[in-house]
Amino acid sequence: MRNSIIHFLLFIFFNLFTIVSNAQTTKLKPGFDKDEFLELLKVSSRQGDSLYNPDLPAPVKFQKVYRSAEMGLDNRWDLWVTEDKVACISIRGTTLKQVSWLDNFYAAMVPAKGSLKLSNNFLFNYNLSDDPRSAVHTGWLIATAYLSRDILPKIDSLYRSGYKDFYIMGHSQGGAISYLLTALLLKEQKNGGLPAEIKFKTYCSAAPKPGNLYFAYDFENMVKGGWAQAVTNAADWVPQAPFSIQTVDDFVILSPFTNARGVIKKQPFLNRIVMTKVYNSLDKPTKKANKKFQKYLGKKLEVFIRKVLPEFESPEYVNSNNYVRTGNQIVLYPNEEYFKLFPQDKSNIWINHAFEPYLFLASYY
């Protein structure tokens, strides 16, 4: 009896020790950290492209150890590390090249789980969400495909060298891609493709909306507790893009909007006539606009996509354009001093989107 009690106590002690040890393995902490964000924003600013200003301060803790080749739709990433074995995957944003803007405008939605044929030698099988209603931006999914093919082996190599903590950081288009990359890595980890003890923390700075409401639900469930921050300057127009259209088809099945026609059919004849007319006047315009967006930001742009990726095959688009903001929202509100430093001039649409205003506002957060 005494030995049984001793064995039981040892079992409890061992398990508690294991839980505490596992809790202490990660150097990353959940939630928004101003100093952490400012350091990562400086890392992001060193991509050296269209938003780059050489006068911006350099990161203090991180050193760049790798820069990828340009791939996909003019996409690129950098790898930065610290002395205590923390890594940062820094995703480049939009450049001045036309193909980089094509990446943004190819905004028809595709399922968040499926496959894309990008070339005869590259079939991208992906899972960003287990919800069959989830959908994401096609252009940024293509970017994620090419980048992840280069990033995953680097994560594996770093893990074997003792790295278990990874930031994912992106500004602007880089932020949008960071959403999708984070979802891909977390699903890969859940399915056993990445070690469970690796910890990812994401900052999506000045990022556009990456997908629909069901993708947002699943993403926010995966990163709950503060493991993905969406940092937005309230004066910046980019986080308000792409255009979003909500139709009755975007609602869950159990809603009065989804079953409105069924309810109307049960009404008396004259009421049914009037209600049908009113319903159609509200329902048809959104569906018509949704169809046009899919046509021009999907099928029409495939012609230009194939000029860059000639073996790309047309995906099956989702009948939705219901883009929403995603992640733990950190809103940076401009103050009076901000507008003195960054005067609002309609001829300069990027004044609120560059690194400088984000560095300024974050320092006051």
Mean pLDDT lowest among 17-26, 48-57, 71-80, 243-252 = 17-26
pLDDT of res. 253: 76
Higher pLDDT, 134 or 3: 134
Residue 9: predicted pLDDT: 44
Assess whether pLDDT exceeds 70 at residue 215: yes
pLDDT at 290: 81
- Output Rg (C-alpha) for the chain, integer angstroms: 23
Q: Is the dihedral of CA 233, 239, 243, 247 positive or negative?
A: negative
Percent of the chain with pLDDT strictly greater than 90: 75
Residue 228 predicted with pLDDT over 50:
yes
Which residue type, as a one-letter code, is found at position 236? D
Give the pLDDT score at 41: 97
Share of the chain above pLDDT 70, in %: 86
Please tell me the predicted confidence (pLDDT) of residue 202.
98
Kind and range of the H or E run holding 323 = strand 323-324
CATH homologous superfamily of 30-253+281-364: Alpha/Beta hydrolase fold, catalytic domain (3.40.50.1820)
* DSSP line for 91-135: E----SSHHHHHHHH---EEESEEEEEEETTEEEEEES-S-TT-E
Smallest CA-to-CA distance from 219 within 194, 190, 252 is with 190
> For the residues 253-276, what does the mean pLDDT come to?
67
Among 228, 165, 229, smallest CA distance to 195 is for 165
Residue-level pLDDT at 135? 98
Q: pTM score, two decimals?
A: 0.89
The pLDDT confidence band at residue 16, using thresholds 50, 70 and 90, is: very low
Residue 288, pLDDT score = 85
Phi, psi dihedral angles at 300 (to 5 degrees): -65, -35
- pLDDT tens for 69-110 read 999 999 999 999 999 999 999 999 999 999 999 999 999 999
Residue 53's pLDDT band (cuts 50, 70, 90): confident
Q: How do residues 150-165 score in pLDDT, each as one tens digit?
A: 999 999 999 999 999 9
Q: Please give the residue that has the higher pLDDT: either 263 or 86.
A: 86
Long-range contacts of 4-10 (CB under 8 A, 24+ apart): none
Task: Write the burial class of residue 2 (CB in 10 Å: 0-12 exposed, 13-18 middle, 19+ buried).
Answer: exposed
Lowest mean pLDDT among 20-24, 335-339, 349-353: 20-24
